[in-house]
Amino acid sequence: MNNEFHYDTVRYPSSVFSQFRPDRIGAMAILHGVTPDRIDDCRVLELGCGDGSSLLSIASAIPRSQCIGVDLSSESIADAKAHAESIGLSNIKFHCMDVMELEPGELGEFDFIIAHGLFSWVPEPVRAKLLEIYKSSLARNGIGFISYNAYPGWRIRSIVRDAGRFVLKGSVSSLDEAQAALDFYRDIASSAQPDSIYAKVLESELKTIEDRPIEILFHDDLAEQNQPFYFSEFASMASNAGLAFIAEADSIMQFTGKLGREARERLDSMSGEPTRREQCFDFLRGTRFRQSLICHSVALPKYFPDPAPLDRLYFSTQSRPADDSANLNDDSPVEFTFSHDSSRFSTNFGFIKMFLGFLASKAPARVMLSEFLPMAQEVFSGLEQNEYQRRFELFRWHLLELFKAGIIELTCYAPRIATSLSECPQTFAFAKWQVAQESPAITTDYGRIVPIASNLAKQLILEFDGTRTVEQVTTLLGERYPSERDQGMLTLASVREGAEQLLKFGIMVSNDG
């Protein structure tokens, strides 16, 4: 694994990845018939943890969890340990070690094992070792997360990779060399025949590369080891190791709503052959990256999600009615919009309209179906029992489709967050740490990435520590920034409004219980 030492000389950009949080992948596994033995007190192992940012967010959000991170980069592990101390986390440990040296069960048994950005970037013997670790260290109903580059989509990116490694004569050892590869990509894009397929492909790939830090080009695209796989190949490797595919971590990877009728019918014809169906799906959508969940083969995961476990999960949404005065209690069509982008969708199904409105009214809290039932029973009390039951069962199936489409989010754990401002508000320690690290965005305990919109927001995150009232924070900031205070930019009203925004985004600690 000599290539791993490049992470000491060229640091990988620090990032928090929410897609493999135990509360999220646990919910997906539960829908597919595999329920982790422990969730709120789970044990989590991340292989190739880097500077630990993602694992730190998990340890912070699930305080009773026990997290362990492993990485070969001594510099990254040193940073991870320092970060954990800075945040004040005692439920996380980091080890600088080569996964090839890990003995079966050496670190214990885990409910969740994560390997993000590792599987495609190591030699074959290391991939086999990774699967061996999953087999030996996953708990009976444990969930594994493995991401990897995938065919057929990655064949497009391989054009760029091959060109870059060609101009660098097969190796890259510095950011200057990565920059030389990027310059060559620009030459190729500008030289391609205008309006040709080649030009369009290169322009698209070049934009993706330019939108990311060059360190990612260095480590991901130009790395000596970068092996994509067809899903069928990955499934075979997992099966040979005694492991089984559960589902993709990203729910949108199950959504067929954007496919044509013929494509959906083709997938339906393969329903009895999960591996073949998944591989066909990849060809239909041009998949280039997968984030697969696996478990022990004996856990017997169900390929298609089941609505029955929805009663045990937590719901949330970033959608809300486009018109606040819309009637959500009948079967008239209502349009919903997302808070984080401009996309819209509409539905006329009364149960769904009312439930989405209910979720929006409870935001940022996560709620269970049991909290919604009294409202549904009251609003639809005029229906005969059989008709109510029929609609409610249809409602549950619709919830699965909304989940696949990314309209609602499902988790199996709900961190305690504030739903109203306390006398002395307090923001989460992880958010404070991210602000101190000058991160452009923060990760809430719910796993959402929230851009930090202003300097005031940063200051409020840092100063609301549970010991100061809104009035006291207003005075403190006014003394620190007298010019803004004198211009009327730092008022009690503006600070309170900022605090309410932090509350809305789920950044405030709950003082209940």
Please count the other Cβ atoms lying within 10 Å of the Cβ belonging to residue 63: 14
Please count the other Cβ atoms lying within 10 Å of the Cβ belonging to residue 390: 12
Position 340 scores a pLDDT of: 63
Q: How far is CA 139 from CA 34, 98, 111, in A?
A: 12, 22, 5
Q: Judge if the upstream peptide bond of residue 321 is cis by omega within 30 degrees of 0.
A: no
Q: pLDDT tens-digit profile of 322-346?
A: 898 899 988 899 999 986 667 888 9
Q: What is the CA radius of gyration of the chain?
A: 24
Position 166 scores a pLDDT of: 94
Residues 6+ apart with CB under 8 A from 251: 28, 403, 404, 405, 406, 410
- Show the tokens assigned to 5: 């030492």
Torsion of Cα atoms, 495 then 501 then 506 then 511, to 10°? 40
Q: What is the pTM of this model?
A: 0.94
**DSSP symbol at 211:** T
Q: Judge if the upstream peptide bond of residue 451 is cis by omega within 30 degrees of 0.
A: no
The domain made up of 2-151+228-299 has a fold known as Rossmann fold (3.40.50)
Return per-residue pLDDT of the chain as tens, 513 residues. 344 457 878 888 888 999 999 999 999 999 999 999 999 999 999 999 999 999 999 999 999 999 999 999 999 999 999 999 999 999 999 999 999 999 888 999 999 999 999 999 999 999 999 999 999 999 999 999 999 999 999 999 999 999 999 999 988 889 999 999 999 999 999 999 988 999 999 999 999 999 999 999 999 999 999 999 999 999 999 999 999 999 999 999 999 999 999 999 999 999 999 999 999 999 999 999 999 999 999 999 999 999 999 999 999 999 999 898 899 988 899 999 986 667 888 999 999 999 999 999 998 889 999 999 999 999 999 999 999 999 999 999 999 999 999 999 999 999 888 888 999 999 999 999 999 999 989 998 888 898 887 899 999 999 999 999 999 999 999 999 998 888 888 999 999 999 999 999 899 998 764
Say whether 1 sits in a helix, a strand or coil: coil
* 95 vs 73: CA distance, rounded Å: 10
Q: How far is CA 255 from CA 26, 86, 250, in A?
A: 19, 41, 10
> Could you give the maximum distance between any two Cα atoms of the chain, in Å?
75
Position 512 scores a pLDDT of: 61
Position 140 scores a pLDDT of: 96
**DSSP symbol at 3:** G
* 134 vs 398: CA distance, rounded Å: 34
Asked if residues 380 and 353 have their Cβ atoms less than 8 Å apart, the reply is no
Q: How far is CA 242 from CA 124, 235, 294, 479, in A?
A: 17, 11, 10, 63
Amino acid of residue 381? S
**DSSP symbol at 290:** E
Residue 452 phi, psi (nearest 5): -90, 110
Which of these, 211, 174, 175, 215, lies nearest to 11 by C-alpha position? Answer: 215
Q: How far is CA 251 from CA 12, 32, 377, 434, 487, in A?
A: 27, 12, 29, 27, 48
C-alpha count within 13 angstroms, C-beta hemisphere, residue 318 = 17
Which residue pairs, CB below 8 angstroms and at least 24 apart, start in 469-478? 469/423, 469/424, 470/421, 470/425, 470/495, 470/496, 470/499
* 39 vs 55: CA distance, rounded Å: 15
Q: pLDDT tens-digit profile of 217-240?
A: 999 999 999 999 999 999 999 999
Helix (H), strand (E) at residue 145 = strand 138-149
* 48 vs 36: CA distance, rounded Å: 23
Distance of CA 47 to the CA centre of its chain: 17
